Chains A and B, each alone.
Chain A
Amino acid sequence: MAHAFPYTEIACPCTLNVSAADSARRTSVSVPQATDDDEEQTFNPHSPRANFSLYSPNDLLYCDDCHTIRCPRCWIEEIQVWYCPSCLFEIPGSAVKSDAEPAQLAGPFIQTCPYCSWTSLDAGIQFATSNHISDQLLKLRKPRSQEQNSDEAGVKAIVQGQDAPPILTLSHEAHFSNLTSFYKTLLNDAPTLNPYAVFAASPGASAYSSPSNLARIITMYSASPSKNPQKKVLPLREALTSAEGLALLPPPASLGSETEIIARMRETGYFDTASLEQQREAPINYEKRFHLGKDALWPVATLLRTRRTRRCSTCRHILSKPETKQGITKYRIKLLASEHILRFMLRPLNLPLISASGLLKPHSTILYVLVVRNPLFNPVKVTLATPSTTPGKVESRVTILCPDFTVGASGEGVGNEVWDDALRSSTSSSRQTSSALSASGHEGRHTSGVGFEDRVPEAGKVWERGRNWVSVVLEIVPGSLNPPSIPLSFETLSIRQDQSGTANAVPGAMREDSETIGEDDEEAVLKIPVLVRMEWDADAGAEGPEAGHKGEVAKEKRELAFWSVFCIGRIGA
């Protein structure tokens, strides 16, 4: 990831529910005693699944109707406007769907590039009307590919050696249909090998129509794979001949010999050959590197870009809406999650313990200051919970010295806040000045090593406190990448948890496999999952700057819980 350590990520609660319910279902067959309590299940930031649930706080939105975080999986997008990426011309939705701009002049028409003077006539293409270009192109394309196929049934043989089957060259369309039918027959022939074949082979027909299919589906869902050992699923074989859809890369024989190609290039110049970008623009043009003349590059429609409105998938509330005006990239509405949930910032309290390489040293305690900032206009009661050892292959020990505290309400705007801090610092000690600065993130590195040598973090006590922020200390003992190979059991786990307060508890995994983890491994990154619970009294009915002024406003209890992941750094070997 491109982030610089330390950084924080947030798992959208929606993804958490999915994965928790899902894993519960999966484990319920093999491990009946698995817990049903979803929330107690620790979020594992190293699991492959986590990739799909973790987001940077700035990428998340917030639904202020449902009062929860929204991520790309739980918002829906609506296309607001289509536009051309080259000229930014906006195309009305009706025109996009119907391509029905009325034809005005009588044809024939050709397409021409006003820059390089290429025209569709170079590829032998003329249009009868000036609209429905894609349709016309498709119609023009069909007879051509048939024509190509009809001469000698569309094939020319390249002899590949004596025993090998001849490799035939086909038009793009014939190649595609051969390959499609090859895969279909493959799936039909081997339905027992692949339980999903029934869906793949007959997308149109109902999968439940035949009794045998139904029986197969029932077995798929009723039996756990481990209890009902099946034949190993064989990998599907690939196409071997061009009748099955195999295409070889060397230029088709229709182009002529290499010397012919060279002679043609000498005549027309290198620049008249198709560029790689042009070849890749569409499969039709894939083999057109050295084609010149009539059947050269086929025109490909420009894909339009869109601007989208995002809505909450639960209540349809608009979460973000771009400005409709052309060329403005601002949003008219954008409910950022970071303006509705706590913001976290981490900085090391004692820099010297991080080695010069920037890697964390296993088994040596480091202290991090976690600054929790409240963007809401009401005080928030915060509870932070983290497993005493981090999940994953490398078990690091983590203690949040003060997991329960209340953060004050945010003022109206940043200006006020800065003013507040300035006032405070002029009346109190210089130590607090530096703390205020470090809390706002500007000089954290500078002050952390200097100002606090005399202070010792205490359990249960907030480290520092500002008007709408609180900082607490995290004690972290990075685990080792080479753990001792002691089998892990529930007993050792519980013992270790009991001892977790004492300094000499041995961190590091006790696992059966003594596999070593490399420094570049994803598991070598120290990631701390923290369950954050926010509780506050919101002004009923309204939230944001317009609320919270007039004396007695009805209050409403609110609660929000989500997993956050603190990514501290890489552990050295």
Chain B
Amino acid sequence: MTSRSSDASKKSSLLPASKPTLSEKAQFTGSHAVNIGEGAIIHPHARIRAEGGDVMIGKHSMLYERALVGTVDGGDVTIGEYVNIETGAVVEAKSVGDGTTVEVNAVVGKSAVLGRWCKVAPLERVEAGEVLEDFTVVYGDGQRRTDKTTKEHKEIRDLKKEAQIKAVQVISTMIPNFSAKWES
């Protein structure tokens, strides 16, 4: 699953289990390992920064344009499955749980821990070191609430997973896949 290379510039290496979709225009920096799960999609101009530690992206997760995941000196970053890191979002968190969405231009600080099925609304911030419990919604200039529907209904969670898999399938046909280029 994981391999290491000493190339510190643009070419860190990765070994996907099954093919994720990596755009040619995605950017990878740093010498640490980057591990991208099956069915995940890294959009053009998305950036993965493995300078301060390893970066792991779970299955069926997506990094959108100009999203940035990883740290310069903040350690490993682990993104779960069915996660969406939207356009322009910056995630330096220690971990992001399954099913969580970080919306457009939101910021998640260093070593924060986001639970499962959380949502950080557009332009919201999760401070460094903060811990969000499962099903937390950050919205409205720093307000927090619990997403009761997702918490209390397994069928809703299943529906969301299903939808994510469909979205990933459709988008993967639209982005030329250069994952072979990064394999080692």
| In contact, A115 and B121 (Cβ under 8 angstroms) | yes
Chain A stretch 243-270: residues in CB contact (< 8 A) with chain B? 268-269
Q: Mark B126-158, 1 if CB is under 8 A from A, else 0.
A: 000000000001011001111111101100100
Query: A117 touches which one: B149, B152, B153 (CB < 8 A)?
Result: B149
| In contact, B149 and A116 (Cβ under 8 angstroms) | no
Is A34 interfacial (CB-CB < 8 Å)? no
Is B66 interfacial (CB-CB < 8 Å)? no
Residues in chain B near residue A112, CB distance under 8 A: 149
Is B94 interfacial (CB-CB < 8 Å)? no
Chain A interface residue bracket vs B: 10 to 19
| In contact, A116 and B121 (Cβ under 8 angstroms) | yes
> How many Å from the CB of B32 to the closest CB on chain A?
33
| In contact, A117 and B147 (Cβ under 8 angstroms) | yes
Q: Mark A105-128, 1 if CB is under 8 A from B, else 0.
A: 000001010011101011000000
Q: Mark A270-314, 1 if CB is under 8 A from B, else 0.
A: 011000000000000000000000000000000000000000000
Query: A271 touches which one: B144, B148, B153, B156 (CB < 8 A)?
Result: B144
Q: How far is the CA of A40 from the CA of B120 in the complex (A)?
A: 71
Is B119 interfacial (CB-CB < 8 Å)? yes
Residues in chain A near residue B121, CB distance under 8 A: 115-116
| In contact, A116 and B139 (Cβ under 8 angstroms) | yes
- Known contacts A116-B121, A117-B119, A121-B153; A268/B137 CB under 8 A: no
Q: How far is the CA of A119 from the CA of B151 in the complex (A)?
A: 12
| In contact, B139 and A115 (Cβ under 8 angstroms) | yes
> How many Å from the CB of B144 to the closest CB on chain A?
6
Q: How far is the CA of A117 from the CA of B152 in the complex (A)?
A: 13
Q: How far is the CA of A559 from the CA of B171 in the complex (A)?
A: 71
Residues in chain B near residue A119, CB distance under 8 A: 149
Residue of chain A at shortest CB distance from B135: A117
> How many Å from the CB of B114 to the closest CB on chain A?
14
| In contact, B153 and A269 (Cβ under 8 angstroms) | no
Residue of chain B at shortest CB distance from A292: B148
Residues in chain A near residue B144, CB distance under 8 A: 269, 271
Q: How far is the CA of A543 from the CA of B146 in the complex (A)?
A: 66
> How many Å from the CB of B10 to the closest CB on chain A?
36
Residue of chain A at shortest CB distance from B121: A115
> How many Å from the CB of B83 to the closest CB on chain A?
15
Residues in chain B near residue A115, CB distance under 8 A: 121, 139
Residue of chain A at shortest CB distance from B117: A117
> How many Å from the CB of A477 to the closest CB on chain B?
59
Q: How far is the CA of A115 from the CA of B144 in the complex (A)?
A: 12
Q: How far is the CA of A281 from the CA of B119 in the complex (A)?
A: 26
> How many Å from the CB of A55 to the closest CB on chain B?
41
> How many Å from the CB of A565 to the closest CB on chain B?
48
Q: List 7 A-B contacts (CB under 8 A).
A: A116-B121, A117-B145, A117-B149, A117-B150, A121-B149, A121-B152, A272-B146
Which 9 pairs, one residue from A and one from B, show the smallest C-beta to C-beta distance?
A: A119-B149, A271-B143, A117-B147, A121-B149, A116-B139, A117-B137, A122-B148, A272-B145, A117-B119
19 other contacts beyond A117-B139, A271-B145, with CB at 8 A cut-off? Answer: A115-B121, A115-B139, A116-B137, A116-B140, A116-B145, A117-B137, A117-B147, A117-B149, A117-B150, A119-B149, A121-B148, A121-B149, A121-B152, A122-B149, A268-B146, A269-B145, A271-B143, A271-B144, A272-B145
